[in-house]
Chains A and B, each alone.
Chain A
Amino acid sequence: MTNTLHRYSEHYAFAAPPHPEPIRDDYIVFAMASRGINDDNLVEKFQTFLRLALKHEPVNIGDATKGGSIRPRQDLNPLAHWRRDHRPDPERVIAEIDGHTTVAAVFDNYEAMEKFVEEIKAAHLGISINISAPIDEAKRCCDDAGIARHSVEYSIGFSGRVDKLPEATTLELSTMCGHGMVSANFAKKMLEWVRENRRTPEEAARYMARFCSCGVFNITRAERIMKRACNIKY
């Protein structure tokens, strides 16, 4: 789940603006366990985690070994080019959990994350729970839920051959799959398609989400980024 750590935003720009816009639609809560320490009844605990998450309407959920709620299909027919089913399938994610993995829920608002964290605390699952979000927002959530943070990990951005990176908007989209499964070239292509009105931002976000193999791609944020970049009202 380091794959949620380095999500690019203006805060990490190489010439950062003095007051970057806060990210208020990208909060991830994920769970994992350690072998031989707290991994008993793991499938049941992960399923409980995701079921509780669903009550708060996450924009995506995922199992790192199987995929997210929007996945590629191996059985399409040519009608898919005209009538594609873009609906997420969260029940499939829950049903297919079969052991050690990392499960994640992505929320597009603070309130949903905070309520979910309160419920998770009350559920006493005994597995490790983490928030991946702006650090201050995660701290506020912990304070609101009466939790003393155990550990923190800060992303301090990119260095080295940063000249090899794509431009900022593409990077914002592609880094929402930190494993790199949403390629920069594909993100660029989707931006162009939205700009040319060949696809809607909603469709383009779902194409990209299918490549994120652990379900942490934030569809709502991707739509917002593309609408902003293409001057579409949102």
Chain B
Amino acid sequence: MKIDPDKCVACGNCVPICPVGAISIEPAIGRATINTDECVECFTCYRGMSKEHLNPLMVRAVRRVAKLFRFRFDPEPDICPTDAIVPQELAWPRIVRRAFSDPQVPHESTGIHGRGTAEVKTNDVTHRVKEGEAGFVVEFGRPGVGARFRDIQRITTVLAKLGVEFEENNPVASLMTDRSRGVIREDILNEKILSAIVEIKAPTERVPAVLQSIRDLAREVDTVISVGVSARCDSVGNDLLGRILAQEGYPAYRGKTNLGLGQPTEIQNSENAEVRK
């Protein structure tokens, strides 16, 4: 992302908008600039701000007069008045930043938007997490801190040694050169992204050990880690996992519940045909 200095009027509206704090007003030029090393190409500034398309010369003149009289102009806080934020063509490896940071870009590896993972949200038709198994969703950089792949690799290589199974259909796994060792391709290790999810599976009885390992490993990285744990319920809708998490002292207040209403198309069609008969 870039801010066009010919259009920017240094109103400062975009500064707090940036999720990773990569935008600032450069005093020497009196324009907003983006720290490209910190920018994660999430497109929040470009897409999230409303636009007015005003003439920059006119806006600067008005702002100068207001400043002269110490008037506090109180504009709408989410508008770029001159449409000064300009997306740039992204090349490899920088394009990885956008893939993992802009939720409106689908991941090539999974075809899913956002972080590109389905987890147990479609478990009623994919059966990814089966009874007796636990799925772990380890998310790096969330909320609002960002992460570099180097930090993610520090964790994935240790997780691999623990013998856990990486979910194949996952954007981070698709960037691994050696999944058995949790090694991510070298050329993207320094790329910063808003967040990325690593999905692993393990038998339910290993939940406490795996979570403890993740907690221990989290101390070694320079970012925040958010963790979700999932399980298949039994035939009457109960699950063991909640009890395990409570026993281990984890705050399992909120979560997602798959209602099991999904059905493969052929089953649905045959049921509909039965009803019509």
- Pick the contact of B226: A149, A155, A189, A213 (CB < 8 A): A155
Q: Which residue of B lies closest to A190 (CB)?
A: B77
- Residue pair A152, B254 in contact (C-beta under 8 Å): no
A53 to B117, CA, bound (A): 25
- Pick the contact of A6: B125, B228, B238, B263 (CB < 8 A): B228
Q: Which residue of B lies closest to A28 (CB)?
A: B256
A171 contacts partner chain B, Cβ-Cβ < 8 Å = yes
Count A-B contacts at CB 8 Å.
Answer: 349
- Pick the contact of B44: A73, A126, A127, A181 (CB < 8 A): A181
A40 contacts partner chain B, Cβ-Cβ < 8 Å = yes
B30 contacts partner chain A, Cβ-Cβ < 8 Å = no
- Beyond A158-B143, A175-B143, whether A198 also contacts B256 by CB under 8 A is no
CB distance from A15 to the nearest CB of B (A): 12
State how many residues of chain A have any CB contact under 8 Å with chain B. 99
A125 contacts partner chain B, Cβ-Cβ < 8 Å = yes
In the complex, what residues of A have CB within 8 A of residue B188's CB? Answer: none
CB distance from B51 to the nearest CB of A (A): 5
Determine the main DSSP class of B at the interface with A: loop
B236 contacts partner chain A, Cβ-Cβ < 8 Å = yes
B157 contacts partner chain A, Cβ-Cβ < 8 Å = no
In the complex, what residues of A have CB within 8 A of residue B237's CB? Answer: 139, 142-143, 147-150
Interface string of B43-65 (1 = CB under 8 A from A): 01001111111100000000000
Q: Which residue of A lies closest to B250 (CB)?
A: A156
CB distance from A107 to the nearest CB of B (A): 14
A157 to B79, CA, bound (A): 33
- Residue pair B258, A154 in contact (C-beta under 8 Å): no
- Beyond A78-B52, A132-B256, A158-B226, whether A152 also contacts B114 by CB under 8 A is no
Interface string of A188-200 (1 = CB under 8 A from B): 1110010000100
- Residue pair B47, A213 in contact (C-beta under 8 Å): yes
- Residue pair A151, B129 in contact (C-beta under 8 Å): yes
- Residue pair A37, B139 in contact (C-beta under 8 Å): no
B177 contacts partner chain A, Cβ-Cβ < 8 Å = no
Q: Which residue of B lies closest to A193 (CB)?
A: B77
- Residue pair B142, A180 in contact (C-beta under 8 Å): yes
User: Which B residues, 9 to 34, have Cβ-Cβ distances below 8 Å to chain A?
Assistant: 15-21
- Residue pair B257, A5 in contact (C-beta under 8 Å): no
- Pick the contact of B261: A74, A129, A155 (CB < 8 A): A129
A1 contacts partner chain B, Cβ-Cβ < 8 Å = yes
User: Which A residues, 31 to 51, have Cβ-Cβ distances below 8 Å to chain B?
Assistant: 32-35, 37-40
Interface string of A1-31 (1 = CB under 8 A from B): 1111111110110001000100100000010
- Residue pair B257, A207 in contact (C-beta under 8 Å): no
A120 to B261, CA, bound (A): 9
- Pick the contact of A155: B103, B211, B254 (CB < 8 A): B254
- Residue pair A38, B120 in contact (C-beta under 8 Å): no
- Beyond A6-B142, A142-B237, A147-B237, whether A152 also contacts B255 by CB under 8 A is yes
CB distance from A81 to the nearest CB of B (A): 5
Q: Which residue of A lies closest to B261 (CB)?
A: A129
A-B CB proximity, top 7 nearest: A150-B260, A148-B237, A153-B230, A128-B262, A185-B16, A11-B253, A160-B218
User: What are 29 A-B contacts with C-beta separation under 8 Å?
Assistant: A1-B121, A2-B228, A5-B256, A32-B122, A37-B125, A37-B264, A74-B51, A121-B261, A128-B261, A130-B121, A135-B253, A139-B257, A149-B237, A149-B260, A151-B230, A151-B231, A152-B255, A153-B137, A154-B242, A157-B227, A160-B221, A160-B224, A161-B222, A164-B223, A165-B144, A183-B17, A184-B144, A213-B47, A213-B48
Q: Which residues of A contact B (CB under 8 A)?
A: 1-9, 11-12, 16, 20, 23, 30, 32-35, 37-40, 64-66, 72-78, 80-81, 84, 100-102, 117, 120-121, 124-135, 138-139, 142-143, 147-162, 164-166, 171, 174-175, 178-186, 188-190, 193, 198, 207, 210-211, 213-214
Q: A64-B114, A142-B237, A150-B124 are in contact. List 15 more A-B contacts (CB 8 A).
A: A3-B103, A6-B139, A72-B48, A101-B113, A127-B261, A128-B262, A147-B261, A150-B259, A151-B124, A160-B219, A174-B143, A179-B114, A180-B101, A184-B143, A185-B17
